[in-house]
């Protein structure tokens, strides 16, 4: 199948590549850009392990063609930590609160939580649970994931207040 010219921004860097129009965004990220943080957990759009941020919204990158991302901005788990390598408060909190075991769902969880906290910087436990309903974890039982997101929200809000 003939390839098309794809231009988009991934984790702040411009990407210029050739890809088949039918290629899924997740395969483009993983196989062409070697960004293997987002995972294919189910192949059926249920698990959310492939979640990335696209133009300010959480998307499951296995439900979207790379052609649909043309000209857009994508952020994957690889783009969540600061440029100097220091972890994002969400990454710290997942570690601190044991929000992961095998870590397979974690990239999707954190990228989703990252967007959730932009949409709602101070979510209740119920709002967090609804907010991550599209992301499945088979290890932790969610309890510690919710705690981690709550803790990260608090830390980010405190930092924001201190800066104000």
The pattern of x and - marking residues 109 through 128 that bind another protein according to CB under 8 A reads -x------------------
Residue 34 interacts with another protein (CB under 8 A): yes or no: yes
Residue 149 interacts with another protein (CB under 8 A): yes or no: no
CB count, 10 Å around CB of 53?
22
Residue 36 DSSP one-character state: -
Distances (CA, A) of 62 to 28, 118, 128, 144: 10, 23, 23, 26
Backbone φ and ψ for 58, nearest 5 degrees, come out as -80, 130
Residue in the structure block whose two tokens are 């932009």 = 118
**Identified binder of another protein from the candidate list 61, 106, 140, 144, rule CB under 8 A:** 106
Kind and range of the H or E element at 16?
strand 13-19
Residue 65 interacts with another protein (CB under 8 A): yes or no: no
Residue 27 interacts with another protein (CB under 8 A): yes or no: yes
Would you tell me which residues interact with another protein (CB under 8 A)?
Answer: 1, 20, 22-23, 27, 30-31, 34-40, 76-78, 80-81, 87, 90-91, 94-96, 98, 100, 103-104, 106-107, 110
């Amino acid at each position: 199948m003939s390839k098309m010219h794809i231009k988009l921004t991934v984790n702040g860097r411009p990407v210029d590549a050739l890809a088949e129009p039918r290629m899924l965004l997740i395969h483009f990220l993983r196989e062409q850009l070697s960004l293997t943080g987002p995972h294919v957990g189910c192949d059926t759009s249920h698990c959310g392990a492939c979640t990335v941020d696209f133009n300010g919204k959480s998307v499951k990158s296995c439900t979207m063609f790379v052609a649909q991302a043309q000209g857009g901005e994508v952020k994957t788990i690889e783009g969540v930590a600061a440029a100097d390598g220091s972890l994002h408060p969400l990454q710290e909190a997942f570690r601190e609160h044991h929000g992961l075991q095998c870590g397979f769902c974690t990239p999707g969880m954190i990228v989703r939580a990252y967007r959730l906290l932009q949409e709602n910087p101070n979510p209740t436990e119920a709002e967090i649970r609804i907010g991550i309903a599209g992301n499945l974890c088979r290890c932790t039982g969610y309890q510690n994931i919710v705690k981690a997101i709550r803790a990260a929200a608090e830390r980010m809000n405190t930092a924001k207040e201190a800066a104000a």
